[in-house]
Amino acid sequence: MALAAPTGAAEVTGEAVYQYCKACHGEQGAGGENGKYPRIAGLPASYVGKQLHDFKSRRRINKPMIPIFKHHRFDAEVIATVAGHIAAMPQPDLALWPYVPRPEALAAFDSKAAYREAGGELYADRCADCHGAAGGGDDAAGAPPLTNQYPAYLGKQIGDFAGGRRTHADSEQCAELTAVEADAVINHLVELGK
């Protein structure tokens, strides 16, 4: 499938470019395999575009994304087109609730209520300034929504920030969460999104 139309031919569409994405992210952008592939439908176009540029330049490494950018025409215009298409896709209901805490995370707290309370407090303290009190993100700040996203994917991203495999302006704050704290925050996000 060609991304670029010859001069004078039909314009490249987001739907056509999205054909490169659907094998992993699904027909409707819901992702899959319990978060191995994240939900991307409805994410802000500016955020999707930045991530695609970061994948292309390898500032953000993800092996399944590498072959996509070998196509000579996957340029800024094509990225903007597919990012707009993805942003316009309706968010699917991933049915993530109830979240099942990792046993070691739950064991670190005196009770399930303490675990839930810690998740809310940690989120308010470390995440809400960028991602919003309700986890809906802040497009102007470049912070994506965190609700309605697979817990396994969120956990991997927090781990990537902690391990220095992923960075952004506030990544040190993201990296401060321990695995147990991250689990409590993820539980809180699932609760926010139910």
Asked whether the beta carbons of 115 and 106 are under 8 A apart, the reply is: yes
113 is a domain residue: yes
Q: What whole-number distance in Å separates Cα of residue 146 and Cα of residue 135?
A: 5
Residue 76 has pLDDT above 80, yes or no: yes
Q: Give the chain's mean pLDDT.
A: 92
Asked if the model's pLDDT at residue 9 lies above 80, the reply is: no
Residue type, 185: V
Q: Tell me the residue ranges of DSSP E strands in the chain.
A: none
Domain for residue 5, yes or no?
no
Containing H/E element for 120? helix 112-126
**Residue 81 belongs to domain with CATH number:** 1.10.760.10
Low-confidence winner among 7-16, 73-82, 176-185 (lowest mean pLDDT): 7-16
Q: Which domain holds residue 45?
A: 14-88
Asked if 141 and 188 sit in the same domain, the reply is yes
Q: Mean pLDDT across the stretch 70-76?
A: 85
Q: Which residues pair with 143 in a beta bridge?
A: 138
146 and 80 share one domain: no
Within-domain flag for 94: no
Whole-number Å distance between alpha carbons of 155 and 105: 12
Confidence of residue 3 (pLDDT cuts 50, 70, 90): low
70, 139: one domain: no
Considering its fold, how many domains does the chain have in total? 2
Residue at 9 is within a domain: no
The strand pairing partners of 32, in sequence order, are 37
For the stretch 37-72, pLDDT in tens is: 999 999 999 999 999 999 999 999 999 999 988 877
pLDDT at 10 (0 to 100): 59
- Same domain flag for 80 and 112: no
* Burial track 119-135 (b if 16+ CB lie within 10 A, e otherwise): bbebbeebbbebbbeeb
* Cβ-contact 32, 101 below 8 angstroms: no
The pTM score is 0.91
Higher pLDDT: 27 or 12? It is 27
Three-state DSSP at 60 gives coil
**pLDDT single digits (tens) 110-163:** 999 999 999 999 999 999 999 999 999 999 988 999 999 999 999 999 999 998
End residue of a domain, out of 88, 120, 138? 88
Residues 123 and 173 reside in one and the same domain: yes
pLDDT tier at 2, thresholds 50, 70, 90: very low
